Structure 1
Amino acid sequence: MTAPENFQRLGLSRRTLLGATAGGVLLGGVAAATVPTAAHAAPAPRCYTRAEWSARPPKSATQVIAKPDHIVIHHTASPNVTDYSLAAAYKVQHWIQDLHMDTNGWIDIGNQLTISRGGYLMEGRSKSLSAINNRQNVLGAQTLNNNSHTIGIEHEGIYTSENPTTALFDMSVLTCAWLCTQYGLDPHVAIVGHRDYNSTQCPGDVFYSRLPELRDRVAAVL
């Protein structure tokens, strides 16, 4: 599904996603949140479930926890492929899960959500989608020492010197708007980069420099 199809299906236009609202980032603890009203609630984008991408079962039970106060933006640091198909999205999700379980030794894929370069949103750690729909979270392994109060979105690719694809960035806007609606979060406070918590280049200099744009566009949707 292309980005324009995503917008049409959700009743949104590119103009709707544009905004210019200044804001900063507050880390640690529970931030003051602006709860979206029903009239301004962002709908859930299409999310491909673990069953659909044929995830491996977790090694042990997934822990359901309270709602997060921050949304952490990651990149996978994998090649910037030009295959934008759903099949390619499933392939990268399997690669992430194998890396996290077999190399890192985690119980499952570490992040709760993944967005492919083709703009496909996929469920990550077991029970993530049901937890989000119930305004809860699952304990991930995506932000060291801060997993108990954050939810992480992996973005396929490496963005140290290149821009994310339009489809990926647009889906990130829709996904963050949905999460802010579910959790009653202010995007100008809640959306942060992985490097804001840990010593890492993630999500890449280019993507990190666009986080103010991401926050503004999410705020425009809300």
Structure 2
Amino acid sequence: MVRRRTLLGGVAASGLLLGLGTTPATAKALPIRSCADWRARPPSAPTTLVYGTPERILIHHTATENVTDYSEAHAYEHARWIQDRHMDVNGWIDSGQHFTNSRGGFLLEGRHGSLDALRAGDRLVEGAHCPGQNRIAVGIENEGLYTAEEPPQGQWDTLVSFCVYTCQQYGIPPTEIDGHRDHYDATVCPGDKLYALLPRLRQEVARVLG
């Protein structure tokens, strides 16, 4: 369960969001593992770049087992499992989401090119994470099933940090951090427990951004 503690005491002290000062401009980039780091397959077709800034961040959960293996090796293995499923079962060209947040709090690039686009801050790779939102929303999958329990603290901390950095890079207001279900009626994603935490997520991100 996510423990209630201050953002600066939890996120900054853990080293996930470095260099926080009085202004958001002092925040440094997060350690996000690239597709090359977790040995992703190449896309089956070229990805599409959409120039301009996305409107929001969409929060997802993978609806997979709430494992207690919080290691980097497991995070990489899970990312490969997602990509295989999206490409081989769904028939997509690559992982559908832009980024993945593991149960152990490892952040990984999902769809190829998403990390470079985020760093540039002026473009988005077209995803496949939510109909109608794939060209205007950054999709992040959080490993686990959050219908009956909350994410572990480490995963929560990296989710907050990721949203802070993404909002800063793209100029997205924290009020535009939504759940998958907000834009797609045929899903309960990201689960009732994580969905209920979204107001707190927006608040913590806004606190850092000032």
Query: Normalising to structure 2: TM-score of the pair?
Result: 0.89
For structure 2, the residue ranges without an aligned partner over 5 or more in a row are 1-9
Give the deviation of 1:146 after TM superposition.
Answer: 1.7
Give the deviation of 1:220 after TM superposition.
Answer: 1.0
Corresponding residue SS for 2:47: coil
Instruction: Considering Cα pairs closer than 8 Å and 6+ residues apart, tell me whether 1 or 2 has the greater RCO.
Output: 1
Q: Distance in 1 between matches of 2:14 and 2:163?
A: 18
* C-alpha RMSD over aligned residues: 1.7
- 2:188 is aligned with 1:180: no
1:216 aligns with one of 178, 181, 203: 203
Matched residue, 1:95: 81
- 2:159 is aligned with 1:159: no
Give the aligned residue type for 2:144.
G
Which consecutive segments of 4 or more residues in structure 1 shift more than 3 A? 2-5
For structure 1, the residue ranges without an aligned partner over 5 or more in a row are 17-37
Give the deviation of 1:194 after TM superposition.
Answer: 0.0
Aligned length: 195
Q: Distance in 1 between matches of 2:163 and 2:171?
A: 11
* Partner deviation per Cα, 1:148-172 (whole Å, 9 max, x = no partner): 1111000000000011010111100
- 2:27 is aligned with 1:10: no
Matched residue, 1:195: 181
Query: Normalising to structure 1: TM-score of the pair?
Result: 0.84
Give the deviation of 1:39 after TM superposition.
Answer: 2.7
**How do 1:1-222 and structure 2 match up within 5 A?**
4-7=13-16, 10-11=18-19, 39-41=23-25, 42-65=27-50, 66-135=52-121, 136-188=123-175, 190-199=176-185, 200-222=187-209
Give the deviation of 1:44 after TM superposition.
Answer: 1.7
Give the deviation of 1:5 after TM superposition.
Answer: 3.3
Give the aligned residue type for 1:59.
S
Give the aligned residue type for 1:179.
T
Give the aligned residue type for 2:39.
S
